[in-house]
Amino acid sequence: MQLKTKVIAPKVMQELLKALREARVDLVSRSISEDPQLFSALFQYENNENLLSLSFEREYSIFINSNLEKFSNNITDIEDVDTKKKLKQITKELVSFKQSKSTSCIDTFFLGDKVTRIEKIFSVFDKDKDRLAEINYIRRKDQVLFEREFNRLLGEQNGLVK
């Protein structure tokens, strides 16, 4: 990421760097601690390229959103013109980096909403998977109960009452 602007105040630069560092620390921390949300999708959706791609998209959106949150928490003079320009440029670089790597387009103003929508897609997929498991359970249970009753009736019919 190359940033080309005029020199900004050292205090602002320190605040920007601190915000970027905190966002990276969050990402690394999630990786080191093997955050289930981060890693479970790699296994859960390994055979579904579309859902796996959505998972990567979700994580990248979370990372950008984290950077934006850190900016708002760390920068004291957000109204400064040079600070606004630098923030706009950093955000543009983060988004354009993603856009240059794929055909996906991230709208920086809707990152939180995008993550929520991706989570809803995963939720629907997981509910469908849970329903399928429930249906399979009911089918297996009914099959066993049917066979028990069938064998009991067959035994009664053949005079083999238990």
Ranges of each domain in the chain: 10-157
What per-residue confidence (pLDDT) applies to 110?
A: 57
pLDDT value at 125 more than 80: no
DSSP letters spanning 71-104: HHHH-S-TT-HHHHHHHHHHHHHHHHHHHHHSS-
Mean pLDDT of 38-64: 82
What is the rounded CA–CA span in Å between residue 88 and residue 95? 11
pLDDT value at 106 more than 50: no
Rg (alpha carbons) of the chain, rounded to whole number:
27
Sign of CA dihedral 146, 149, 153, 158: positive
pLDDT category of residue 31 using cuts at 50, 70 and 90: confident
What per-residue confidence (pLDDT) applies to 105?
A: 44
What is the rounded CA–CA span in Å between residue 138 and residue 93? 52
pLDDT category of residue 158 using cuts at 50, 70 and 90: confident
Mean pLDDT of the chain, nearest integer = 76
What per-residue confidence (pLDDT) applies to 121?
A: 65
Calculate the CA 133 to chain-centre distance: 24
How confident is the model over 64-98, as pLDDT tens digits? Answer: 888 888 887 888 877 777 777 777 777 777 776 65
More confident residue, 98 or 152: 152
Tokens (6 digits) for 9: 């105040």
